[in-house]
Structure 1
Amino acid sequence: MEQHAPVIGFLEDDPDQAVLVEHWLKQAGYRVRLFKTAAEFRRRQGSEAIDLLLLDWMLPDASGPQVLQWVRDSANARLPVIFLTARGSEEDLVRGLNSGGDDYVVKPARQAELVARVSALLRRIGLAGDEMESFELAPYRIDASHRRISFAGKDIELTPREFDLAAFIFRRHGRIVSRDSLLENVWNMSSAVSTRTVDTHISRLRKKLELNGEHGWRLAAVYQHGYRLEQA
């Protein structure tokens, strides 16, 4: 499994269902974080950033729509969410989508369909493509194959680590990336290591790329969560 593979969170209290879906997602090349209760999900979201959430409707301490409302009201409001639930009526589907869900899969889920829906949603937010694929957030262009970033057509000198950090954050623009997830994905280090090195590199990157809002993008610190590249 690739170090930079998207991380899928799965909030599910049924251990058998959790293990099965985790196996399917790992087979498809994703990394997985399992949560058994809404309280556990809320507690761990400060440090364990995920790229997409699979959300069960019926949980021991909350309903799926209640969890989704908390997500949409949180600092990570743009987190993509797919309901995965046995509630398959049209009324439930409409309620799930109207409450802010991005997609809806009825249990028992079929492996190919579930993986396809996860992949499709990740593609929509720019995270399912090849890590070597170049992309743009005007006026910035990230040339992944040549490992360089340009601003308004001019290359910006970055260290290899700074490029990896910038590419990871740019691909997740609008969403929170935690310090722990940066240590894991950019530094390949345990989250038990001090995060001061992350803060130092973020500060340098902000200056080099002028991500202070002047050019349309701001690299902002989100208290107790991490960082977010957001439109100014």
Structure 2
Amino acid sequence: MYGSSPIPQALARGSGQRLLVAAGAPDAAGLLTSTLELAGYRTGAAGSGAEVAGRLAEHRFALAVVDAELPGLGDLARGGRLRPAYRPPVLLLVACESLARLVPELGTGERDYVTKPVRIAEVLARVEVLLRDVGGADLPGGTLDHADLVLDDGTCRARRGARTLDLTPAEYRLLRHLLVNSRTVLSKEQISNCVWGEFRDGNAIEQLVSRLRRKVDRSGPALIHTRRGFGYWLGESSGSG
């Protein structure tokens, strides 16, 4: 249902905007999330209409990418849980036969759609157009931080405390992915898709994580941790990682 071709460099134009990805199938949600993050966006996820309402109430997303077949999506408007100020532009993923009943519940503002089977290049292009059309108003900034670790998407630089980190592009993408998903264990497959846009064997990921850990945790408490058998996560250790 979703294409998996590498992302053309010309389409990688995100600058840290936060997007909500709402797709019921975990594989589809994972592919969309990894693709958008590789293209320079920050993402949050929702798997049902109720989760969409909750996430939009918690955060001001720049745009929502929503599968029109998401469970419970039609209940959003009737529930009255969303205030107009928190309704972002929406990119709907719809089957061709469903175009006549495009879901209007997420807002009265900018909307667009792509038909399934989804082509990743088209999703990226329509996201870019929608964000451009809304003029970038009230979008989050391009800075991510956790404890004394700061990453600036505007300059593509990171620092820990007063120390600037000398990162390769792959290390930067990995650190960004860990920061966006702080305190969440990320599998090797998730990391590989985000960093390289394809799956690479575990040894390549282990070496990349090891290089980044030496730079980030060279001084100060460790922030990058291994959950053996599951993956890696970023945050303060409670002693049970």
Instruction: Give the alignment's TM-score, normalised by structure 1.
Output: 0.48
Instruction: Give the alignment's TM-score, normalised by structure 2.
Output: 0.46
